[in-house]
């Protein structure tokens, strides 16, 4: 293979690999910060996290540092039957949102992680 052709092929391969990583983060949209954080990336894949409000969900603080999070049936594509779970501060799956609103991640028909609204806002 000619040197120019090898350089072109390597450039195409590099571009394709970098492009696929970029699409994964971009597909996550506003929730990309969850996937980019090594501590929270276990919560999600490219399409399963977002602001709780877009799923008509609720997060009721039932005691200090403890929330009952609900996603109603038919509002989240990965939780078609809906789900209600309790999340406790300091436990795996409960984190602080980097946005000024609560976020959720879902997998396997249930809420997997909850990102509580930052305190003081």
pLDDT tens digit string along 49-108? Answer: 999 999 999 999 999 999 999 999 999 989 999 999 999 999 999 999 999 999 999 989
Average pLDDT, the chain: 79
In a domain, 18, yes or no: yes
Distance, CA of 83 to CA of 23 (rounded, Å): 29
Of 35, 15, 17, the closest CA to residue 25 belongs to 35
The pLDDT of residue 120 is: 52
Residue 34 included in any domain: yes
User: Would residue 121 count as lying in a domain?
Assistant: no
Helix runs in the chain, H state only: 3-27, 32-36
Domain encompassing residue 109: 3-116
Q: Would you say residue 48 lies in a domain?
A: yes
Residue 12 belongs to a domain: yes
Strands 110-116 and 83-88: unpaired
Domain count, the chain: 1
């Amino acid at each position: 293979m000619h040197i120019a052709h090898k350089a072109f092929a390597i450039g195409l391969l590099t571009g394709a690999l970098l492009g696929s990583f970029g699409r994964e983060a971009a597909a996550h949209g506003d929730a990309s910060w969850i996937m980019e954080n090594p501590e929270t990336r276990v919560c999600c894949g490219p399409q399963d996290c977002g602001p709780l409000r877009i799923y008509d969900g609720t997060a009721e603080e039932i005691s200090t540092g403890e929330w009952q999070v609900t996603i109603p049936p038919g509002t989240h594509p990965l939780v078609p039957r809906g789900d209600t779970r309790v999340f406790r501060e300091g436990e795996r799956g409960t984190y602080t949102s980097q946005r000024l609103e609560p976020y959720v991640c879902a997998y396997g028909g249930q809420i997997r992680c909850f990102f509580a609204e930052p305190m003081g806002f």
